Structure 1
Amino acid sequence: MKWHRLLLLVLGGSCLGWFPQAAFAETFPNVIFILADDLGYGDVGCFGQQHIQTPNIDRLASEGMRFTQAYAGATVCAPSRCTLMTGLHTGHCYIRGNKEIKPVGQEPMPADTFTLAHLMKQAGYRTGLIGKWGLGYPGSESTPESMGFDYFFGYNCQRNAHSYYPEYLWRNDEKIALSSDAYSHDLMADDALAFVRRNHASPFFLYLAFTVPHKKLQVPSLEPYVDEPWSEDEKICAAMITRMDRDIGRLMALLKELKIDKQTLVFFTSDNGATYRFARFNHSGPLKGRKRSMYEGGIRSPSIACWPGQIPSGTVSDQVWSFWDVMPTLADLTDQDLKSATDGISILPALVDGKPVEHPPLYWEFHERGFSQAARRGDWKVVRNGVGKPLELYDLSIDIHEDNDLAAQHPDVIERFESYLSSARSESELWSIPDAK
């Protein structure tokens, strides 16, 4: 019996399974999934940042659960978002790399793709995407509105999202022209608040895919860092992150104002590792690598979940999970049997009971600069930096920075990983493994 059925029985209600879906959808919590863009593991205060102010994200952690071993779906934007939308890791999902389409947009997912938004609509949710899509092009079979989102505002194309002062954004299938001084992040943050106000009376799912702190380095104000003895770029980077933090604070305040904070599950995470290299900020924290790396700094994400009254406040969890676990977790949350294939598991018990769930092996592949792979099983992690290259082996329980390659000392472990890697991916015409040179 799932947690929400048990809750209703305790309260004297009837078993949810006795009611049609539309009748019991109102008992489910709202879900907000906040995705930062290129935010490193060490870029927020609750994960060790010493210089950039993130009081609202830190409060989210203090009121919820902070995950020390959560992973993005990939080490770059589009495939990471595809794993989130489909529940499949990069060995199985359709989009396994950043593939640009001219003049605008990215490689689309197939028309019959079952997405996280479809899942939530099935449970009676109003679904919204505000922010960056990057999984199709305008007019393709893979736009937000064709992939299960009732409402979309933001960037269709992740290449256009490199600028915070774009000529236009999209609202559903309408191109919205912007003035030259319109800062896109501010528009999307305001739109997120408006979406919540419009839909707070019934369950909603909001995928809030902010573009901060992805390049370019642009911000309307350097506050609160104007007087810091830093470079101009350092001030801009810090101000961008703090501005996003401010708007997350505004969103959480609105949930309380509307008295739906206890009925709302909020996730916060990042799509891949840090893109910037400012030594002062130590973007990857204790981890090795950054965006486009298969080491932990490229894929481990600063992740938080908050749900007052359900997730114990101020907890730190070592639950291992990745983006492809979100779909089975929300299927569990909404009492649905997930009929589409998935590489993920539900981590709902870890969220509401604090009971870690054993995770099957995790897998990543990366198609830029040749081909690389990574996998994790328990505390063992392997990295292959190129076709035909040997596997590197690390024990993350004692070597989080991946300094000591133990492959030579543990051939049995390497053999098991080689066997796993040989079966972890399906063939793809778009994302084939190049021949070894």
Structure 2
Amino acid sequence: MAGVTRRRVLGSAAAGAAASALAGRGETRAASLDGGSAASLDGGSAASLDGRPAAGRPNIVFIMADDLGYADVACYGRPDLATPHVDRIAARGVRFTQAYANSAVCSATRTALITGRYQYRLPIGLEEPVSTRFTGGLPADHPTLPGLLRGAGYRTTLIGKWHLGSVVEHGPLQRGYDRFWGFRGGTIDYFSHRGTDGRPDLWDGDVRVDEVGYATHLIGRRAVEAVGQAAASGRPFLLSLHFNAPHWPWETPDDEPESRRIAGSNLRHFDGGTQATYRRIVAEMDAQIGRVLDALEAHGIAQDTIVVFTSDNGGERFSDTWPFTGRKTELLEGGLRIPALVSWPRRLPAGAVSDQPMISMDWLPTLLAAAGARPDPAYPSDGIDLLPILTGEAPARPRTFFWRYRANGQAAMRDGDLKYLRIRDNTFLFDVAADPLERANLRARRPADFARLEAAWRDWSATMLPERPESFTESYTGAQLADHYGAQVPLPRPAAAGEAPP
């Protein structure tokens, strides 16, 4: 099976990083599947199907952690943290060693995930990430993964984090989901369920609700209920299960006093958290994932359910990003490399490892293909359908990925094993297969390759929306994180309409 091996899935992160990337230059644009017209967001036109009855199409459970580092689960090599339920997904399916996030922050990646396209094609994707001052969202007429699946007959539910528009007009129910329970902003306190602006941010559909409990537990309970309801309906379903964990604030189920201490703040508490706290936050999320996997088994639908587990970007303060350097908000590998697992017992091998390079926006064409649907031809995906590679029907293929990040003037491109990187006025060329820590700058040693990649990045960037000074971009300074002692003060937040600049 090209690109996929049946090695033991519990390999080390270093071994995964050492798996060589595919050399050469590739395209990330996917060809549309044959068939009829694509689905509209309201399900008014049918998505193309491949002739399988609805009952024969897989259910989809898409689990996304928040700010989880590449090596923050045991099956990617973290030795001090047990994640038996995430590891169950790996043991039953495929573990990617070269998975990338579309962005080094949350909502930009989520834009790419839900649209299957580079986030820089949309104004919301230029927000790094969407802040409480942003009042826009995804365009109402832009196809989305849940909308396309709903048009194909799927029941669609989001439990957990949205972060693609805080106002109701840009909410999940308006962008393809039938049901929503969770929060709209970037994070909430695990106990008070208030956002960074101090306002309550827990919703059942478009109605704000007040519930008592640790957020991770509440999200897990709702997800189990959603599985049961969907199984009883007899329709194939998409369950997007987007946890807050392990995003700050650093609170375990025993840390309600910490929730009270930081009440009224922006929840970042740079004076809070420990490695033990972080491990517990991840472990609590893993336990809820186990409840969902058990529910699939109990309802007899596990064999016909695709389960994806991944993160929205690289790790944050307490994360393990080994064998990479860098973290969230940075285009170093540690800010972009993420864990990614997929199981589908009916079709995919168990306990397999794939060194096929992939990126967040690949999930839309991949999952649509599994469902017998296709992307809207008017909005072709920038990702590819990974299924033929994962099933061995097609060989692994080379890929080329591009990134921009406005804070610190960052740019990056991966082409085969080579990576172009710019941070402010500093430029680099790395072989990230041989040098995953990005230490040996090959710019002067391989000037032709450096010039080729830099020119290709410029050509690509010219096809995207230009960066906007008014867009928010997040970064960290030496005053906040000691290992960022050389980092400059980030760009100021833009003022909202009618508000004086900060």
Matched, 1:349 2:388: yes
Q: CA deviation at 1:157?
A: 1.2
Correspondence list, 1:148-297, <5 A: 148-159=176-187, 161=188, 163-166=190-193, 167-179=200-212, 182-200=213-231, 201-221=234-254, 233-277=274-318, 283-297=320-334
Partner of 2:208, secondary structure, is: strand
Residue type matched to 1:147 in 2?
R
Q: Structure 1: 5+ residue runs without aligned partners?
A: 6-18, 223-230
Residue type matched to 2:226 in 1?
F
**Structure 1: how far apart are the matches of 2:449 and 2:119?**
22
Contact 2:203 2:209 in 1 (8 A): yes
Out of 83, 86, 96, the residue aligned to residue 57 of structure 1 is: 86
Aligned to 2:129: 98
TM-score (norm 2): 0.75
**Structure 1: how far apart are the matches of 2:97 and 2:394?**
15
Aligned to 1:384: 422
Matched, 1:307 2:307: no
Q: CA deviation at 1:99?
A: 3.4
**Structure 2: how far apart are the matches of 1:178 and 1:283?**
32
Partner of 1:424, secondary structure, is: helix
From the superposition, tell whether residues 358 and 23 of structure 1 become closer, same or farther in structure 2 (CA, over 3 Å). closer
Partner of 1:391, secondary structure, is: strand
Aligned to 2:262: none
Deviations 1:100-143 (A, max 9, x none): 244xx664122222111112112211011111111112223x21
Q: CA deviation at 1:164?
A: 4.5
Out of 404, 407, 410, the residue aligned to residue 365 of structure 1 is: 404
TM-score (norm 1): 0.85
Deviations 1:365-402 (A, max 9, x none): 112x242111111111111112xx25311112211111
Q: CA deviation at 1:290?
A: 0.9
Residue type matched to 1:365 in 2?
R
**Structure 2: how far apart are the matches of 1:344 and 1:269?**
16
Partner of 1:383, secondary structure, is: strand
Residue type matched to 2:203 in 1?
W
Correspondence list, 1:405-424, <5 A: 405-424=441-460
Aligned to 2:173: 145
Q: Give the ranges of 4+ consecutive aligned residues of structure 1 lying more than 6 Å apart after TM superposition.
A: 19-23
Partner of 1:268, secondary structure, is: strand
**Structure 1: how far apart are the matches of 2:401 and 2:191?**
34
From the superposition, tell whether residues 405 and 107 of structure 1 become closer, same or farther in structure 2 (CA, over 3 Å). farther
Contact 1:21 1:124 in 2 (8 A): no
Matched, 1:394 2:430: yes
Out of 412, 422, 428, the residue aligned to residue 374 of structure 1 is: 412
Q: CA deviation at 1:333?
A: 1.6
Deviations 1:41-92 (A, max 9, x none): 1111010101111111112111211110011121011101111011112443
Q: CA deviation at 1:93?
A: 3.9
Out of 315, 321, 326, the residue aligned to residue 363 of structure 2 is: 326
Contact 2:61 2:307 in 1 (8 A): yes
- Note the aligned Cα RMSD (angstroms): 2.4
**Structure 1: how far apart are the matches of 2:273 and 2:316?**
17
Contact 2:160 2:182 in 1 (8 A): yes
Q: CA deviation at 1:20?
A: 7.0
**Structure 2: how far apart are the matches of 1:110 and 1:423?**
26
Residue type matched to 2:411 in 1?
Q
Aligned to 2:59: 30
From the superposition, tell whether residues 270 and 398 of structure 1 become closer, same or farther in structure 2 (CA, over 3 Å). same
Correspondence list, 1:122-133, <5 A: 122-133=151-162
Q: CA deviation at 1:234?
A: 2.3
Q: How many residues align?
A: 397
Contact 2:251 2:273 in 1 (8 A): no
Contact 2:131 2:186 in 1 (8 A): no
**Structure 2: how far apart are the matches of 1:322 and 1:112?**
24
